[in-house]
Structure 1
Amino acid sequence: MIRVVLADDEAMIRAGIRGILGSDPGIEVVAEAGGGHEAVELVTAHRPHVAVLDIRMPEMDGLAAATTICRTVPETAVVMLTTFSEDSYIAEALRVGASGFLLKSGDPRELVAGVRAVAEGAAYLSPKIAARVIANLGGEKMSRTTSAIERISALTDREREVLTLVGAGQSNVEIAKRLYLVEGTVKSYVSTILSRLGVRNRVQAAVLAHEAGLIHAEY
């Protein structure tokens, strides 16, 4: 059972998200918060697998809450709920260690898929968010693509395969099945890839894979 703490300052939105997640028998919302401070307290108390946070909340916003949770409760994966007008927030949440990004106006099925993915150790960016994040990381597209290709050139062929699957949002278990490896070996590959690419987490690695054209080329 995937245990989730949900935080949004609008009660009706919380109810909607709770209903969507509750449609999956493998997901349980164990606590709800109306603000960032309460979200941090509940995550600390319940130690859920996933925290679903709205970026904009009063007093302590979702970004500040995500920063604290990623630092103090690193075993809890953070999924951010965003809108198209919040590019700078999205980039900062990516930097501090959030594992997933979903649009509030997106397909409800993406919410369930995103929570499941990050609970299994994968990164999850809804397609529209992925495109928006990549487009706003700074610099021209050609420059970003060239830089990404240069960075991944340091990887072995097998590491590139693993990176491509990370970029496609697959978990370690899924990658292991796909490449006929044991999960421990995949974890080792992912750790090496993050180190060689100089990125902090799977989401940043996934963005780099998209920039380098790995996902477009193979998926």
Structure 2
Amino acid sequence: MKRIVYKEDNIDLKFIKKILDENGIIIYPTDTVYGVGASLKSLEGIEKIYKAKERAFNSPLIALLSKVEYVEKVAIVDEEKKEIVVKLAEKFWPGALTIILNKRNSVPDIMVSGGQTVGVRIPALKLAQYIIESVGGVLPTTSANISGESTPRSYEELNEIFKERVDIIIDGGKSPLGVESTIIDLTKDVPKILREGAIKKEAIEKLIGKI
């Protein structure tokens, strides 16, 4: 099909859902950087993301959510970690914090490289939230770039070759932060920062203690 480009003030959410339900993939802006996403129910769509990025299947995607209640759709919040998850969510969501949790069976193996965990995040950009909500509140996503290249922080920075490999592109201008999210793993006994991004380790430690 012909690639469709929407401006942020003129998007068709029903059509976007239709295309993603039919195994399409979408480039869209988030608060951090531009992402590429596919339907959680579409193994073919998720596979298209890896092919578009020229990326090995051993690099997992994360689940971007439109609302905090959707965490339970894809992840298991262990009772002993629930207090930490709640604190982090209340302080940093919507925002640039990805939390790694044990996954539910609803998350396909291809999305998480056959692993047992999944990263979840709520972007602090209304446009992204609307798109994610339109497809059921969960959108498997990764950065919208060919592996090894710079992560795009604006529509103008998107790789022209990469743009040809997707079905829909949302031109949302420049991402507000332009910095990737911080990733914290809560699946082990002690929380661990896997990547320090927009949210600093010190801010997290101030909330949940030394990690």
Same structural fold, with TM-score higher than 0.5 when normalized by the shorter chain: no
- TM-score between both structures, scaled by the size of structure 1: 0.25
Higher-RCO chain (CA-CA 8 Å, sequence separation at least 6)? 2
Q: Which has the larger radius of gyration?
A: 1
Q: Which has the higher strand share?
A: 2
